[in-house]
Amino acid sequence: MSVPARRAAAVPDPTEDATGAGAQERAKSSPRRSDPPSIPATPPVLRARRRRKHHVGFAILATLVVGTMVFGIASMNAVLAQTSFRIDEAERRIQELSLDNLELIRAQAQLSAPGRIAAWARRNGMRLPDDIRSLHAPGGSTAAPAGAADPLATAGKDP
Amino acid sequence: MRRPPLKRLVALFAMMVLALGAILVRLSVLQVSQAASLRDRALDQRVRTVTLPAARGQILDRNGEALAISLEARDIYADPRYVEDPWRAAVALAPLLDLDVRDLVETLSQEGTFVWIARQVDLDVAAKVESLDLAGIGFLKTSKRYYPAGPLAAQVLGFVGIDGVGLAGLEFRFEDLLAGRPGERTQELDPHGQPILGGVDVEREPVAGSTLVSTIDRDFQYQAQEALADAVSTNHAQGGTVIVMDPATGDILAMASYPWFDPNHFEDARPGTYRNRAVTDSFEPGSTNKVITATAAVDRHAIPLDQAISVPWTLQVDTFTIHDSHPHPVQRMTLGDIIAQSSNIGTVLVARRLGESAMAAYLTKFGLGSPTGISFPGESSGILPPLYEWTAADLATIAYGQGISATPLQMVSVYATIANGGRWVQPRLVSGTVSPEGAYQEAPASATRRVASTETAQVVTRMLAYAVDAGTGTNAQISGYQVAGKTGTARIPLPDRPGYYENQYIASFIGFLPASDPQVVIAAILNRPVTEYGGVAAAPLFQRIARYAITRLQIEPGREVRVPPHVMPLP
C-alpha cells in the first residue's frame, strides 16, 4: 500500500462517521434496524457531480497553464526566429553596404585622382601659373648687404 | 521425433562460437587498436576547414586619400569531372573572362578535380558567369587590390600578387600589418557537402588588416611625376628621379622614378620599372657631393671663409689629371666661390686641407655608405670605400663626388641636414597606421643626429643660395624666393671595367627653399640627358617642382640670406 493510501485508511472520513464506523458499532451493539440514520449521507450523484466539477476546473486550469506555456514557448521561439532572421538580414545588409562603401571609396579615389582632374582642367583651358610673384611690403626685407662681415670668417691668406 | 545428433550440435555450437569470436576479434581491432586512426579518418571525411580571407588594409596618402584599396572579387575554378561539354562551356565563358576559347577548352578537359579558370574576377563579371549556370564551375571569395590613381607613386606603393600577398614596395614591407589575419570555418558536412545539423561548426573570424597612412601627398606626387616625365622628354633623358622631403620631419612628400608602371597591371610592365630607384639604386653624386666637403671645411675651420685660394683649371693627383668642367685661367676663389662655380680643383684643394680622416668622418656622419632606414625593401647603402683603402686620388675625387656612390635618398638627406640646421633627420614614408577598429596610431618621430653645428649649416646655406643666385644653379631661381641648392654633373662609371662613359652624365640639382627658413627639400635627377649639365637639365625640373611646392605648401618667401664672402664678381 502506498503512503497516501495508508494515510487515507488511517484518517476517518467525517462523512463516514455517522453512517460508516458509528453505524457499524451501533449495529454490533443493537439488533438490526431499518431506521434511517439521523444525519443523512451525501448522495453519490452529488458526490460524483462535485468530483466532476473539481476535475473540470482542474482540467481548465491545467489547460490554461499548459496552453499559456506552450503559447509562450511558441511565441518566444517565433520571436527568436524572427530576431534571427532580422540579424541575418542585418548582417547581409551590412555586408552589402560594406561592399558599396568600398566601391564608393574606389569611385571617389578614381574620380578625384589628380591625373583625371588635371586632364579635365586642361580640356577646359586651365593651367598652372607660369610664375609666382611675391609682393614685399615696404621695409619688410631683413636681408643683409652682400659681403657683410661674417661671424665665422677669419682673416687668412692663400698659401 | 528424432533428436539431432550431439556431434552436430557441438559442431554447430563450435562454428557459432568461432564466428562470434571472429566478429569479436574484428570488433576489438576496429574499436580498440585502430580506433583512433579510424576516428580521424571518419572525421577527415566529414569535417572541412575553409579559410576565410581577411580584408587587406588600405594605403592612404597624408591627407587620407586612398592610394591602394582592396575590393571583393571572385576566383573562378572548375571541376573538369562535372563539366558536361567543355566546348560549350568554353565558348560561353571565354568572352566574359577575356580568355582564349581553345586554351579554356584545354583547361576544362584536363584530368583532375580542380583547375583555375580565372583569378580575382570583378563581382559583376562573376555574377554574369554565375548566371550561365554551368555545371562544374565554382566560385571562391577573394579580394583584388586596386590602385585608383594608376601609376601614381607606383614604385613606392609596390603591388600585390594574385594570392593577395605584397610583392614590392610598401605592400611588401608592411605585409604583416596590411594583410591582417585570415580566419577559418570548420564544418561537418554530409557526402553532398551540406552542413550536418548539430555537427561541428566552428568559426574563427578573420581580423582585417590595418590601414597604412603614408607621408606621400597625392597631388604633389602627381605634379612631381608630371614634371619629371616632361623633363625626361625635353632633355631626351633615359630616366630620372624626383624626391620631395620635409626637412623638419623627414616626411617624403613625393618620390618618383621614371619610367614607372601601372600597379593595376604590373604583369604587363618591365620588371626594371618596379624598382624605386630613389632608394634602391645608387649613383655617383658628382658636384652635389661638394656640399659635404664644404660643410666639413666650415665645421672644422679648415679654410677661412673670406680666404681666396688660387684655383687652376687642371691639377695632377698621382697619375691622374683632374680638371674643372671648363678651361679657365688660374682664379682666386673663396670657398663660397668654389661651391657657387662648382670648381672641382677648388674642392680638391679644400679637401686636402681637411684631410682624409675628416673627409671620411663627415661622409659617414651625413649617412653615406649606410642605408637611411626608411623602411623600404631593398634600400641600398651606396658605396663608400673604407678609409684604409683611400689613396690621394680617392680623397680628390670623393671630394667632388666621383669614386663614391649614394642613393638619391641619401643625397636628399644630406641637403635636408643643411636645411635643418645641421641635424640629420631620418626620412620616412609612413606617418601612421589606422587599426581595423579605426584607431589612429602615429608613427614614432624620425631619428635624428647632429652632423654639423647650426652656424655651419647657416654658412653652407648661404653658399648654396649664392650658387643659385650667381653660380651654376641660376636656372633654379624663383622670383621672390631665395633658393639654396647645388648642381651636379656626374660621369657614369662603366659597368664591367674601371673608367667612365664618354659624354654620358647624371645631371642633378638638389636644393631647398626658402633659404632662410627651409620648408621643402627637392632632388631632381636625370639619367643621361642630352643636355648633360645639372644646371641646364635638372635645375629647371627643380624649379618647376619648387614652384608647385610654394603654392601647395603655402610657403612664404622668408627673409633674404646674405651672400657668403666671395671674390668673384656678382653677375
Q: Is B154 on the interface with A (CB under 8 A)?
A: no
Query: Do residue A150 and residue B152 have CB atoms under 8 angstroms apart?
Result: no
Query: Do residue B149 and residue A109 have CB atoms under 8 angstroms apart?
Result: yes
**B382 with B406: CB under 8 angstroms?**
yes
Q: Determine which of B97-111, B146-160, B220-234 has the lowest per-residue pLDDT on average.
A: B97-111
- Which residues, other chains included, contact B104 with Cβ-Cβ below 8 Å and sequence gap of 6+? B86, B89, B90, B93, B94, B117
Residues of B in contact with A103 (CB under 8 A): 71
Domain with A36, as residue range(s), is 1-40
Q: How far apart are CA B100 and CA B104, in angstroms?
A: 6
**Is the pLDDT score of B1 beyond 60?**
no
Query: Do residue B66 and residue A108 have CB atoms under 8 angstroms apart?
Result: yes
**B225 with B152: CB under 8 angstroms?**
yes
Instruction: Answer yes or no: is A20 within a domain.
Output: yes
Burial of A97-126, coded b for 16+ CB within 10 Å and e otherwise, reads: eeeeebeebbeebeeebbeeebeeeeeeee
**Is the pLDDT score of B185 beyond 90?**
no
Contacts 24+ apart (CB under 8 A), B491-499: B491/B284, B491/B286, B491/B402, B492/B283, B492/B284, B492/B528, B493/B284
Query: Do residue B455 and residue A115 have CB atoms under 8 angstroms apart?
Result: no
DSSP B430-471: EEEEE-TT--EEEPPPPPEEE-S-HHHHHHHHHHHHHHHHHS
**B185 with B63: CB under 8 angstroms?**
no
Tens digits of residue pLDDT in B321-357: 898 888 889 999 999 999 999 999 999 999 999 999 9
Tens digits of residue pLDDT in B117-165: 999 898 889 999 999 988 889 898 888 999 999 999 999 999 999 888 9
Q: Determine the 3-state secondary structure of B338 from DSSP.
A: helix
Terminal Cα-to-Cα distance of chain A (whole angstroms): 136
Nearest to B66 among A109, A115, A155 (CB): A109
Q: How far apart are CA B343 and CA B332, in angstroms?
A: 11
Neighbours of B437 (CB within 10 A): 7
Query: Do residue A132 and residue B479 have CB atoms under 8 angstroms apart?
Result: yes
Query: Do residue B223 and residue A114 have CB atoms under 8 angstroms apart?
Result: yes
Q: Determine the 3-state secondary structure of B128 from DSSP.
A: helix
Residues of A in contact with B471 (CB under 8 A): none
Q: Is B262 on the interface with A (CB under 8 A)?
A: no
The answer for A 102-141 residues in CB contact with B (under 8 A) is 102-103, 105-106, 108-110, 112-115, 118, 128-129, 131-134, 136, 141
Neighbours of B51 (CB within 10 A): 11
Q: How would residue A8 be classed by pLDDT, with cut points 50, 70 and 90?
A: very low
**B213 with B60: CB under 8 angstroms?**
yes
**Chain B residue closest to A156 (CA)?**
B307
Mean pLDDT of chain A: 70
**pLDDT of res. A5:** 43
The answer for B 502-561 residues in CB contact with A (under 8 A) is 547-548, 550-551, 557, 559-561
Q: How far apart are CA B163 and CA B348, in angstroms?
A: 54
**pLDDT of res. B234:** 95
Q: How far apart are CA B372 and CA B416, in angstroms?
A: 13
Instruction: Answer yes or no: is A1 within a domain.
Output: yes
**Is the pLDDT score of B67 beyond 50?**
yes
Question: In this predicted model, which residue has the larger pLDDT, A141 or B53?
Answer: B53
Query: Do residue A158 and residue B307 have CB atoms under 8 angstroms apart?
Result: yes
**pLDDT of res. B303:** 93
**pLDDT above 70: percentage of residues in chain B:** 99
* Residue from B19, B301, B261, B27 nearest B159 by CA: B261
Q: How far apart are CA A54 and CA A59, in angstroms?
A: 9
Q: Determine the 3-state secondary structure of B255 from DSSP.
A: strand
**B217 with B246: CB under 8 angstroms?**
no
Beta-carbon-side half-sphere exposure of residue B267 (alpha carbons within 13 Å): 3
Q: What angle do CA B345, B237, A129 make, to 5 degrees?
A: 100
Query: Do residue A118 and residue B226 have CB atoms under 8 angstroms apart?
Result: yes
Nearest to A150 among B66, B303, B565 (CB): B565
**Chain B residue closest to A117 (CA)?**
B219
* Residue from B513, B510, B70, B456 nearest B298 by CA: B456
Query: Do residue A143 and residue B307 have CB atoms under 8 angstroms apart?
Result: no
Please state the domain count of chain A: 1
Q: How would residue A132 be classed by pLDDT, with cut points 50, 70 and 90?
A: low
DSSP B189: B
Q: Starting at the edge strand that comes first in sequence, how are the strands of the sheet with B500-513 ordered?
A: B252-258, B239-245, B520-527, B500-513, B484-493
Q: How far apart are CA A142 and CA B347, in angstroms?
A: 31
**Distance between A147 CA and the closest CA of chain B, angstroms:** 5
The answer for A 22-41 residues in CB contact with B (under 8 A) is none
ipTM of the complex: 0.71
Q: How far apart are CA B569 and CA B571, in angstroms?
A: 6
Q: Locate B73 and state its grid cell.
A: 572579387
Interface test with A, best of B122, B203, B205, B219 (most A CBs within 10 A): B219
**Is the pLDDT score of B271 beyond 70?**
yes
**Average pLDDT value for residue range B354-368:** 95
**Chain B residue closest to A110 (CA)?**
B148
What dotted CATH number matches B50-79+114-214?
3.90.1310.10
Query: Residue A146: exposed, middle, or buried by beta-carbon count in 10 A (0-12, 13-18, 19+)?
Result: middle
- Which of B143, B210, B282, B287 is catalytic? The answer is B287
**pLDDT of res. B53:** 83
Instruction: Answer yes or no: is A113 within a domain.
Output: no
**Chain A residue closest to B548 (CA)?**
A128
Q: How far apart are CA B257 and CA B267, in angstroms?
A: 18
**Chain A residue closest to B334 (CA)?**
A158
**Average pLDDT value for residue range A73-79:** 92
**Chain A residue closest to B332 (CA)?**
A158
Query: Do residue B71 and residue A102 have CB atoms under 8 angstroms apart?
Result: yes
Interface test with B, best of A97, A131, A158 (most B CBs within 10 A): A158
Instruction: Answer yes or no: is A11 within a domain.
Output: yes
**pLDDT above 90: percentage of residues in chain B:** 72
Domain boundaries, chain B: 50-79+114-214, 218-434+445-552
Q: How far apart are CA A150 and CA A61, in angstroms?
A: 110
**Is the pLDDT score of B568 beyond 80?**
no
Q: How far apart are CA B337 and CA B335, in angstroms?
A: 5
Tens digits of residue pLDDT in B434-489: 999 999 999 999 999 999 999 999 999 999 999 999 999 999 999 889 999 999 99
Q: Is B431 a catalytic residue?
A: no
Burial of A13-22, coded b for 16+ CB within 10 Å and e otherwise, reads: eeeeeebeee
Contacts 24+ apart (CB under 8 A), B187-194: B187/B47, B187/B48, B187/B49, B187/B50, B188/B46, B188/B47, B189/B46, B189/B47, B189/B48, B190/B46
**Distance between A134 CA and the closest CA of chain B, angstroms:** 5
**pLDDT of res. B456:** 96
Among the four given CATH numbers 3.40.710.10, 3.30.70.890, 3.40.50.1100, 3.40.190.10, the one describing domain B218-434+445-552: 3.40.710.10
Same fold for the domain at B50-79+114-214 and the one at B218-434+445-552? no
**B345 with B336: CB under 8 angstroms?**
no
DSSP B318: T
Beta-carbon-side half-sphere exposure of residue B307 (alpha carbons within 13 Å): 18
**pLDDT of res. A149:** 39
* Residue from B467, B494, B503, B495 nearest B483 by CA: B467
**Chain A residue closest to B222 (CA)?**
A114
Instruction: Answer yes or no: is A88 within a domain.
Output: no
The sign of the dihedral angle between the CA atoms of B113, B118, B121, B125 is negative
Q: Is B205 on the interface with A (CB under 8 A)?
A: no
**Is the pLDDT score of A73 beyond 60?**
yes
Phi, psi of A20 (to 5 degrees): -90, -95
Query: Do residue B123 and residue A133 have CB atoms under 8 angstroms apart?
Result: no
Beta strand B66-78 with B115-122 is: antiparallel
**Is the pLDDT score of B428 beyond 70?**
yes
Q: What angle do CA B536, B523, B328 make, to 5 degrees?
A: 40
**B90 with B105: CB under 8 angstroms?**
yes
